[in-house]
Structure 1
Amino acid sequence: MTGVEEAIAGELRLVDPGVRTSRERAERLLDPDFVEVGASGRRWTREEMLAELPAMEGAAPDGPRYEISGMRGVQLAPDLVHLTYETVIDGRRARRSSLWRRTPGPAGDAGWRMYHHQATPVP
């Protein structure tokens, strides 16, 4: 699997309610230095995101789900991928951009993780 394919797979896992409600599963996908600038303009750290993710939109198995379109990726360096795409959830649309980086580590801890994410609302 290419870096772009791995990053896309990780991005899709992060919108899965089973991952959003499991701190253990979400931790494996977020880089230790993760930062997000959400559609609200709020800046999120990794710890803040992990704590709030189970209560955020898209986490309830029977609630609204993210509809993703136009996902594209570019490998910027051997260990860095940039993804862009759009989402709609509960009638709200956003353009999204993510940086994924591959980190070395012991078995089970190495791999591609989201390093930065930004969401911009679209009227």
Structure 2
Amino acid sequence: MSQEPDEVREAIAGELRLMDPGVRSSRTLARQLLDPEFTEVGASGRRWTYDEMLAALPGMDGAVGSGPRYEPSAFTGVLLAPGLVHLTYETELDGNRARRSSLWRRQGANEPWRMYYHQATPVPPGSV
């Protein structure tokens, strides 16, 4: 990660914060990291909007500090354009793996990076 541009490092930091149980269980903290135009296609295939995600996130996997936590790995990131970063990585949660892709955008030099889009694809057991 040390050779990544600052923008990519900041997006990865935001992604990691969104996996933190303290952030996942707090709509206030999650709101700081999700873009108002956020959408997600989850591992189940369900499409989520910003409001739906903020309402559901506290009850989703990884939101309880004493429960299973996301274990991320293999982060890669690319600055696609000024203010737009694409991340890919894998997670494991309670024995289930997923490949993930997200777009982070910043809409002004003084604005924070926020997740604009996220997609998760389950990895079948035994897959490479």
Normalised to the residue count of structure 2, the TM-score between the two structures is: 0.91
Match of 2:17 among 1, 13, 17: 13
- Give the CA deviation at 1:103: 1.9
- Is residue 85–residue 103 contact of structure 2 (8 Å, CA) maintained in 1? yes
Question: Paired residue for 1:90?
Answer: 94
Question: Paired residue for 2:44?
Answer: 40
Structure 1 residue 29 corresponds to structure 2 residue 33: yes
Gaps of 5+ in 1: none
In structure 1, what is the Cα distance between the partners aligned to 2:107 and 2:35?
A: 8
Secondary structure of residue in 2 paired with 1:52:
helix
- Give the CA deviation at 1:104: 2.9
- Is residue 102–residue 112 contact of structure 1 (8 Å, CA) maintained in 2? yes
Q: Which runs of 4+ in 1 moved over 4 A?
A: none
In structure 2, what is the Cα distance between the partners aligned to 1:118 and 1:98?
A: 6
Question: Paired residue for 1:117?
Answer: 118
Letter of the structure 2 residue corresponding to residue 90 of structure 1: D
The structure with more strand, counted as a fraction of residues: 1
Gaps of 5+ in 2: none
- Is residue 103–residue 113 contact of structure 1 (8 Å, CA) maintained in 2? no
In structure 2, what is the Cα distance between the partners aligned to 1:3 and 1:78?
A: 9
1:35-59 CA-partner distances (Å, limit 9, x unpaired) = 0000000000000000000000000
Structure 1 residue 57 corresponds to structure 2 residue 55: no
Structure 1 residue 74 corresponds to structure 2 residue 94: no
CA RMSD of aligned residues (A): 1.3
Secondary structure of residue in 2 paired with 1:28:
helix
- Give the CA deviation at 1:2: 1.1
The total of aligned residue pairs comes to 120
Percent identity, aligned pairs only?
A: 70
